[in-house]
Structure 1
């Protein structure tokens, strides 16, 4: 644990909140990088409730998860924002490989870390997953009963989205073409001795063939970009650009969808009950139906909050829309 240096966070920083640079291992041996936020008037002789936070999928701790962590530290929690394995400053000899199993494990490893701190009460640890990490955090909480309360913000089921497409739009023909492309990509990666970068959610051309690219976003937004692409571009390439963010500067490995095809997330989220779950999404979020689907599969105790007028990325960083009062009351009540 060391004082944060070379600060590259992309949101407005509260200098009154002490932030420590930390490292911890998951059970697969990946070394995870995190920022540990200490609450106002921190006293290391006291014990605090803690919240571990990650996401969005392809973001880094200097982006949205750090903003959530800082804001909740202002409310009296010890919080940990961390980079998923193979991304950001976390380890991994092959960079930017997404794995449902490993990313779920990363949340439990974060619980390990905060629970080892003498100033954290192990019986008062919660978790938040933002965007695509929302489906991972619910999966983690399904079996890791140390997570006493769990929340998601604009949750996105990455496995469902990759397999079925947004709004379940992917056809069987498209999925077959996609698998053929990924099979050829594996041959290319094996022949070249290293994995290529590529899109984890493939668009299709007018002939129903998948389109591949080695970067999620170009430097400029295409004139014919759809609203969802525009929204993501404005966040990752615009107001919250970070050079270590997969979504800002590069792409996942091209074969990333294979593991999500095989291993769906959220299989046992009904088992979180009776521990409480808070599902937050935006009224205008393109991902809203995923949050509502997850909510419907959960058992009590659960709560769904739909933020009026909010889009998906609004709940990444727009302080006038993110319901931090709701997150605060949820965790203060349940931790």
Structure 2
């Protein structure tokens, strides 16, 4: 069963798809998992795939849609802001904390691609999350900074000029996320991502168990290398595991049935152990 719900985050509402396990009973309390989608995605796509698979394995799942995007509220539209994305997760935890069918001490989160980076970072200080998982986690900060510092500074200068132009009445500049996406990104919001670092303080503050899942093909956005680096850095984690799926690349962990089945089965075992 899938039900679209809404919860308050700051001054607007966030839309999310709530799924419950088979033979669900209001009289029981279930472990719950928040699912955080990639950049340029929405709750109906990758997050929905994992939400459905994990719900079938006994969890309440909540696939949230980023603020300012999709069915979620918030103005201006089409912005990507790491701080807001992490506040979405915190507000989702708030929502789950007061649901009578959720065990408030058994809440976890899974993030895919950029969503993985946000889940990692929010878990550093959000200890209501008792366990976390990542699939092809990516760091939007390093992606948008790129390998050329001079080019990054030039881009930030252009963002600054565009923001001033919009203050003076120019139309917002909307750019594509990347070549494989038809979704819209407000150009000036790219500045929000430039200083984000998903792995900062992981070695000291990430205390929860973590399941890291990557493919063995380099693929897009550096997720294979980031997963390995995360595994090495997570020295404060109570328990950590790295699953490398043979023959899989970054996008296979989005929606390839075989790959997502393997990943979901691993995540289910992990969360059953730690939630």
Please confirm whether the aligned pair reaches a TM-score higher than 0.5, indicating the same fold. yes
Matched position secondary structure for 1:320 = helix
Matched position secondary structure for 1:266 = coil
Matched position secondary structure for 1:321 = helix
Instruction: Judging by fraction of residues, say which structure has more strand.
Output: 2
Q: What's 2:134 paired with?
A: 152
Moved more, 89-98 or 171-180: 171-180
Matched ranges for 1:133-144 at <5 A? 133-144=115-126
Matched position secondary structure for 1:296 = helix
Matched, 1:264 2:200: no
- Distance apart, 1:216 and its partner CA: 4.2
Q: In 2, distance between residues paired with 1:263 and 1:176?
A: 15
Q: What's 1:190 paired with?
A: 167
Match of 1:302 among 234, 240, 243: 240
Q: What's 2:27 paired with?
A: 45
- Give me the CA root mean square deviation: 1.6
Mark the runs of 5 or more structure 2 residues left unpaired by the alignment. Answer: none
Matched position secondary structure for 1:110 = helix
Q: In 2, distance between residues paired with 1:310 and 1:262?
A: 30
TM-score normalised by the chain length of structure 2? 0.92
Matched position secondary structure for 1:143 = coil
Q: In 1, distance between residues paired with 2:72 and 2:170?
A: 22
Report the count of equivalent residues. Answer: 268
Please say if residues 152 and 280 of structure 1, whose CA atoms lie closer than 8 Å, have aligned partners that are also in contact.
yes
Please say if residues 11 and 74 of structure 2, whose CA atoms lie closer than 8 Å, have aligned partners that are also in contact.
no
- Distance apart, 1:186 and its partner CA: 1.6
- Distance apart, 1:95 and its partner CA: 0.6
Match of 2:55 among 73, 76, 84: 73
TM-score normalised by the chain length of structure 1? 0.76
Please say if residues 42 and 65 of structure 2, whose CA atoms lie closer than 8 Å, have aligned partners that are also in contact.
yes
Q: In 1, distance between residues paired with 2:190 and 2:25?
A: 45
Q: What's 1:207 paired with?
A: none
Q: What's 1:251 paired with?
A: 184
- Distance apart, 1:151 and its partner CA: 0.4
- Distance apart, 1:273 and its partner CA: 4.3
Please say if residues 137 and 227 of structure 2, whose CA atoms lie closer than 8 Å, have aligned partners that are also in contact.
yes
Please say if residues 144 and 193 of structure 2, whose CA atoms lie closer than 8 Å, have aligned partners that are also in contact.
yes
Q: Structure 1 pair 272/332, CA: closer, same or farther in 2 (3 Å)?
A: farther
Matched ranges for 1:233-252 at <5 A? 233=180, 247-248=181-182, 250-252=183-185
Matched, 1:312 2:250: yes
Q: Structure 1 pair 67/96, CA: closer, same or farther in 2 (3 Å)?
A: same
Matched position secondary structure for 1:189 = helix
Matched position secondary structure for 1:192 = coil
Q: In 2, distance between residues paired with 1:252 and 1:158?
A: 13
Matched, 1:30 2:12: yes
Please say if residues 142 and 270 of structure 1, whose CA atoms lie closer than 8 Å, have aligned partners that are also in contact.
no
- Distance apart, 1:305 and its partner CA: 1.0
Moved more, 128-137 or 187-196: 187-196
Please say if residues 211 and 242 of structure 2, whose CA atoms lie closer than 8 Å, have aligned partners that are also in contact.
yes
Matched, 1:121 2:103: yes
Please say if residues 124 and 201 of structure 2, whose CA atoms lie closer than 8 Å, have aligned partners that are also in contact.
yes
Q: Which has the higher Rg, Structure 1 or Structure 2?
A: 1
Q: In 2, distance between residues paired with 1:102 and 1:273?
A: 20
Mark the runs of 5 or more structure 1 residues left unpaired by the alignment. Answer: 1-17, 199-214, 218-228, 234-246
Please say if residues 123 and 206 of structure 2, whose CA atoms lie closer than 8 Å, have aligned partners that are also in contact.
no
**Structure 1 residue ranges (4+ consecutive) displaced by more than 4 angstroms after TM superposition:** none
